[in-house]
Amino acid sequence: MNILVIGGGGREHTLCWKLAQSPQVEKIYCAPGNAGTAGVAENLPVKADDLDGLLAAAKEKSVDLTVVGPEAPLVAGIVDLFQSAGLAVFGPVAAAARLEGSKAFAKEIMAKSGVPTGQAEIFSDYQQALANLRQRGGPIVVKADGLAAGKGVYVCKTLEEAEEALKLMMVDGIYGDAGKTVLLEEMLEGEECSILALVDGKDYLLLPSSQDHKRIGEGDTGPNTGGMGAYSPAPVVTAEMEEKIAREILAPTVRTLAESGSPYKGILYLGLMITAQGPKVVEYNVRLGDPETQAVLPRLASDLVPLFLACCAGKLAGMKIEVKDESAVCIVAAAEGYPGSYQKGQVISGLEGIKEEANTVVFHAGTARQGGELVTAGGRVLGLTALGAGIKETQKMAYAALQQVNFDGMYYRKDIGYRAIDR
């Protein structure tokens, strides 16, 4: 089989790396890819938002299956486009991808499904939103309705913080159209976790649980990022809790989407808060998380290809996912200044000393080749994943390997996995 992976970050490198292990795969293409994907796939100079260009490339390279990494092309309708051309593609159609494309739509689906979530109100008028905000006060969560590269959520402890977030979105327009409509949402108290599920329209399979560290600073402080690290499994998700999540959240969501005429196929990501009252939905995503993917996929003993094909064909029933006993910890090395402005083009050294067979693997996110050298090309540059016996031991392995890597301004959190270790 020939497979096309769309995207160019750490998630996509991990997908290429895992798919390349399948005996069914002859050739992998990645568009646009990065310096890491070039080691396991052929990079194609087509951007992830160039839907027509991607379709042309898939036809030209006789691609048998396309796997869509990022959310933007899914929301833009790439699955609909490929399906209309008779091509197999893993991911939800645009109507179902609104789960991530519009937080207001996601709240509607939650309400119809009867799944537990934070109370929220939706506004497209700044003055009305401001008045409601001042009436409610803090703490509160301010969310941009549309796609904002994982950064359009502000967890505000005070009214002043919330007013500033609202102004940034609705007046200053820092997220463009995505911030014209906002949600003012109840702040949920508890511990966050990520649940990823393969869905074929009606049936589903759960992948191992994980927890992402979204804040830039130790102890989960500072601004939100795309994710500074992740680990799997998340001890907060016990077997009993996982069953409850599947029964009370995942199954009703899948059923509601099918009944609405937009059956969901692909990866459904549940961003959850485990509260004193039980699990509640913080957000839906319509693709694999980043960096959760870098912690979850290395733990899978199963071949992804038949699972992805079964999702596309609506034939997931009866299939199983085999999971390794090891835990995984992924630490993100970021450029200085991220999630704000940062420099590119810094030379990366030390990767040659990290041996994959020693249960550590480096996944590239924002990297490129420049004049024969490996250089930084994004805010999140690398994700180093270790597999080991338990989170504490695995954390030590990951940080030991990361000490070999260097680039000017390299920043990483030194406490990834601390919640699991504290337990």
Q: pLDDT tens, 222-252?
A: 988 999 999 999 999 999 999 999 999 999 9
The pLDDT of residue 12: 98
Contacts of 361 (CB under 8 A, 6+ apart): 17, 298, 354, 384, 385
Q: Is the distance from CB of 340 to CB of 353 less than 8 angstroms?
A: no
At residue 150, does pLDDT exceed 90?
A: no
Give the model's pLDDT for residue 148: 84
Confidence band for 310, pLDDT divided at 50, 70 and 90: very high
Confidence class of residue 358 from pLDDT cuts 50, 70 and 90? confident
By CB atoms closer than 10 A (0-12, 13-18, 19+), residue 27 is middle
d(Cα 183, Cα 104) in Å, to the nearest integer?
7
Taking CA atoms, 242 is separated from 196, 233, 234, 235, 253, in Å, by: 11, 11, 11, 11, 15
Helix, strand or coil, per DSSP, at residue 61: coil
Nearest to 182 by CA among 123, 252, 256: 123
Which alpha helices (DSSP H) does 117-266 contain, by range? 126-136, 159-170, 239-245, 251-259
- Would you call 3 helix, strand, or coil by DSSP? strand
- pLDDT tens digits, one per residue of 67-100: 999 999 999 999 999 999 999 999 999 999 999 9
- Residue 399 pLDDT more than 80? yes
b/e code 78-95 from CB counts within 10 Å (16+ = b): bbbbbeeeebbbbbbbbb
Question: Closest Cα to residue 16, out of 50, 77, 65?
Answer: 65
Sign of CA dihedral 174, 178, 181, 183: negative
Distance CA 156, CA 191 (A): 17
Q: Is the pLDDT of residue 116 over 90?
A: yes
* Residue-level pLDDT at 149: 75
State the average pLDDT over residues 100-129.
94
**Sheet order of strands, 380-388 included:** 211-212, 229-232, 327-334, 380-388, 360-364
pLDDT digits (tens, 9 = 90+) for 249-282: 999 999 999 999 999 999 999 999 999 999 999 9
pLDDT given for residue 327 in this prediction: 98
104: enclosing H helix or E strand: helix 103-113
Q: What is the pLDDT of residue 229?
A: 98
Q: Angle formed by the axes of helices 103-113 and 94-101, to 10°?
A: 100
pTM of the model as a whole: 0.94
Handedness of CA 171, 174, 178, 179 (dihedral sign): negative
Residues 14-26 have a mean pLDDT of 98
Q: Look over the chain and give the mean of its residue pLDDT values, rounded to a whole number.
A: 95
* Residues 404, 354 contacting (CB under 8 angstroms): yes
Q: What is the pLDDT of residue 152?
A: 87
The predicted model gives 290-310 an average pLDDT of 98
Q: What amino acid is encoded at 275 in this protein? A: T
CA-based nearest residue to 196, from 275, 287, 105, 274? 287
Per-residue confidence (pLDDT) for residue 357, from 0 to 100: 74
The domains located in the chain, with CATH, are 2-91 (3.40.50.20), 125-180 (3.30.1490.20), 191-313 (3.30.470.20), 327-422 (3.90.600.10)
The pLDDT of residue 223: 86
With tokens 């005996």, the residue in question is 23
Q: DSSP states of 245-272 as a string?
A: HIIIIIHHHHHHHHHTT---EEEEEEEE
* Separation in Å, CA 71 to CA 127, 165, 369: 31, 23, 26
Instruction: State the SS3 of 220-235.
Output: CEEEECCCCEEEECCC
Residue 304 CA from chain centroid, whole number:
17
What is the tally of helices (H) and strands (E) in the chain?
14, 22
Element (H, E) at 108: helix 103-113
